[in-house]
Structure 1
Amino acid sequence: MLKKFNVKIMVAQFIMILLWASAFPAIRVALTAYSPEHISLLRLLIGSIVLLIIAVITKTPLPALKDIPAILLLGFLGFTVYQVALNYGEQTISAGVASLLVSTTPIFTALLAVFFYREKLGLWGWLGSLVGFCGVAFISIGGSTEDFAFNNGIIIVLVASLSESIYFVFQRRYLEKYGALRFTMYAIWSGTIFMLLFSPGLGEAIMDAPLNATFVTLYLGIFPTIIPYFMLAYVTARTGAAEATSTLYLTSVFAFLIAWIWLGEVPHFSAITGGLITLIGVFIANIKKEDIMKENINAESLN
């Protein structure tokens, strides 16, 4: 039976992909005036304030006391480490390449789930992971003729991807308990608390920065940090997690296009080729997983 075309879901997915993709070139712009730490701090502070207002209006309760240590750790990994590492990486690599490297997050997540939760990855999962990492290697080798800092940037962004993967793997029980929106609020607030370490000098940086860089950082704090999570929760509630995230592979494509138009970043051949290989690997690793999830749901419905 054909699925009914839903304009609202399509629009929500498009907004989600577009906003997340726009974050990569926006970071490059913000880096012209702010340090990687100050970008993350200002971005999370803005996001936290907006979410706090939403929480007060909706009367969102605080998490259980026993869950706070774990939420703090997950917020640290998923937002503090991820954003600071990504910002540092984008000092030496393009926005498009950074988005491609972050697209390895599903592969890292799957491998971590195998190790910690004894999930079965299967032949297609292992094959997809191998292909994906070959793509990353191709990007790295392709940049070896340039400044060596390019390779350092790749490693740092992969650290960001790994950190975010750990966040995704261990957030499961808290997503079930609190829901996606509430848990995301808690995680962003937690990540902001750790970022306060970099508060010294932020005021001076804001005063010295040109308005365009500050406005871009404000944009990062509201749009890519908050709105896509609400869109993802909306789509997930209506289609399921597998289908809701199935279009996220397009984020890298949009990131390249936006960076090309906005920053004039023309992708190198090695980045395009390695990126295609990486995305194919991610697709292979996840397409069968989605089929298995659907089969499990169908089997459970028959029991």
Structure 2
Amino acid sequence: MSEIIKVKSLLSRVEVKEWKSVFAGIVFAFLWSSASTATKIGLVSAQPFVISIFRFLIAGSIMLFVSHIVLGNRMPVKREWIQISIYGFLNITFYLGLYVIAMQQVSAGLGSLAVATNPVFIAMMSAFWFSHRIKFKNILSLLLCFMGVVMAAYPLLQNSYATPFGIIVLLISMIAYSLGTIYYSRVNWNGLNILTINGWQTILGGVFLLPALCATYESDKNNFDTSFWTSVCWLAIPVSIGAVQLWLYLLKSNPIKASYWLFLCPIFGFLIAHFIMKEPITFYTVFGVILVISGLYIVQKKSKS
């Protein structure tokens, strides 16, 4: 009888863990895909680099306060500062700096769709970088995702919801993010806490962006109104902190299953943009999302085998 009770208790704990993962995955996908719409709202009131600097300052300060003051984690030392600086330049300055520029000229839904293609870029770039053989599945997944983005963008280009320049900058920003991810995964962090790494790379990435802000700043184009602060606070706290921590939780629980939650991002992204920004959802949108999800499924299926 005691063995039966133990088995039931174990099954109950497993079930609770599964439900936690499902809840975390859904919330992650919603928060991650909401970044595009939040950015579009902020751009109504301020220049892109102004939004970015405030976002990074708030998010980085909160993470460092929790990491060093609340949790008492150690500071980075010696070479770790260089590693964090490189990661911050790729993941914050380059990626998010270009991303916020692109969002001036593409729809929020399209921005979410492009972000969801990152696993494909990472898989392809890893193969090139480390001289791995590129399989047919990798090429097929990249083609499907590319076709999906083009398909979803087609009616948006016609209706001024996107420009070719915006799409190009958006894709370059995805490449920058993929480079940052690969770099992060290959570096030895010597047990440095993830919150410390994220906090300092966010702050340093913002510092590296300051010259661009100074060169482009125009005071009459920035209104620090409700829309601005709503956008910045949402991007800083729920997205930069909340979504990232949920993603790390999902990766720790099951890296393969975690990647599948990216499939929800394009769906949530277009729905959020439709209801908040009144962006259109057409046959092209639906078919483009299906192509991207198919491409993501192929590359994730490959990683499982």
Deviations 1:223-277 (A, max 9, x none): 10111121122222222x2222221121111111111111211234333322321
- Say whether residues 1:263 and 2:277 are aligned partners: yes
Report the more deviating stretch, 107-116 or 121-130.
Answer: 121-130
Tell me the TM-score normalised to structure 2 length: 0.85
Q: 1:225 aligns with which of 230, 236, 240?
A: 240
Q: Tell whether the 8 Å contact from 2:152 to 2:285 is kept in structure 1 after alignment.
A: yes
CA distance in structure 2 between the aligned counterparts of 1:86 and 1:199, rounded to whole angstroms: 15
Paired letter, 1:220: L
Deviations 1:95-120 (A, max 9, x none): 00111122221111111101112234
User: Offset of 1:146 from its aligned partner?
Assistant: 4.7
Q: 1:112 aligns with which of 115, 125, 143?
A: 125
Q: Residue 74 of structure 2 aligns to a residue in which SS?
A: coil
Residue number in structure 2 paired with 1:173: 186
Deviations 1:87-143 (A, max 9, x none): 111112110011112222111111110111223442222221222222233345555
Larger Rg: 2
Residue number in structure 2 paired with 1:65: 78
Paired letter, 1:13: G
CA distance in structure 2 between the aligned counterparts of 1:20 and 1:47, rounded to whole angstroms: 15
CA distance in structure 1 between the aligned counterparts of 2:92 and 2:50, rounded to whole angstroms: 14
Q: 1:157 aligns with which of 136, 154, 170?
A: 170
Residue number in structure 2 paired with 1:136: 149
- Say whether residues 1:193 and 2:204 are aligned partners: no
Structure-2 change in CA distance of 1:252 and 1:83 (3 Å): same
Q: 2:226 aligns with which of 211, 223, 241?
A: 211
Residue number in structure 2 paired with 1:23: 35
CA distance in structure 2 between the aligned counterparts of 1:148 and 1:265, rounded to whole angstroms: 8
Q: Tell whether the 8 Å contact from 2:144 to 2:294 is kept in structure 1 after alignment.
A: yes
Q: Tell whether the 8 Å contact from 1:181 to 1:233 is kept in structure 2 after alignment.
A: no
User: Offset of 1:144 from its aligned partner?
Assistant: 4.8
CA distance in structure 1 between the aligned counterparts of 2:156 and 2:222, rounded to whole angstroms: 36
Q: Residue 187 of structure 2 aligns to a residue in which SS?
A: helix
User: Offset of 1:30 from its aligned partner?
Assistant: 0.3
- Say whether residues 1:122 and 2:129 are aligned partners: no
Percentage of pairs with the same residue:
24
Paired letter, 2:86: L
- Say whether residues 1:252 and 2:266 are aligned partners: yes
Tell me the TM-score normalised to structure 1 length: 0.85
CA distance in structure 1 between the aligned counterparts of 2:270 and 2:158, rounded to whole angstroms: 21
Residue number in structure 2 paired with 1:236: 251
Structure 2 gaps of 5+ residues are: 1-10
Q: Tell whether the 8 Å contact from 1:206 to 1:214 is kept in structure 2 after alignment.
A: no
Report the more deviating stretch, 200-209 or 135-144.
Answer: 200-209
Structure-2 change in CA distance of 1:168 and 1:261 (3 Å): same
Structure-2 change in CA distance of 1:207 and 1:154 (3 Å): closer
- Say whether residues 1:91 and 2:67 are aligned partners: no
Structure-2 change in CA distance of 1:199 and 1:237 (3 Å): same
Structure-2 change in CA distance of 1:8 and 1:149 (3 Å): closer
- Say whether residues 1:37 and 2:49 are aligned partners: yes
Residue number in structure 2 paired with 1:46: 58
Q: Residue 246 of structure 1 aligns to a residue in which SS?
A: helix
Q: Tell whether the 8 Å contact from 2:274 to 2:280 is kept in structure 1 after alignment.
A: yes
Q: Tell whether the 8 Å contact from 2:60 to 2:198 is kept in structure 1 after alignment.
A: no
Report the more deviating stretch, 120-129 or 159-168.
Answer: 120-129
Count of residues paired in the alignment:
289
- Say whether residues 1:288 and 2:294 are aligned partners: no
Report the more deviating stretch, 96-105 or 155-164.
Answer: 96-105
Two-structure CA RMSD over aligned residues (Å):
2.6
Q: Residue 208 of structure 1 aligns to a residue in which SS?
A: coil
Report the more deviating stretch, 280-289 or 3-12.
Answer: 3-12
User: Offset of 1:215 from its aligned partner?
Assistant: 2.1
Paired letter, 2:151: F
CA distance in structure 2 between the aligned counterparts of 1:276 and 1:144, rounded to whole angstroms: 19
Q: Tell whether the 8 Å contact from 1:95 to 1:256 is kept in structure 2 after alignment.
A: yes
CA distance in structure 2 between the aligned counterparts of 1:11 and 1:276, rounded to whole angstroms: 23
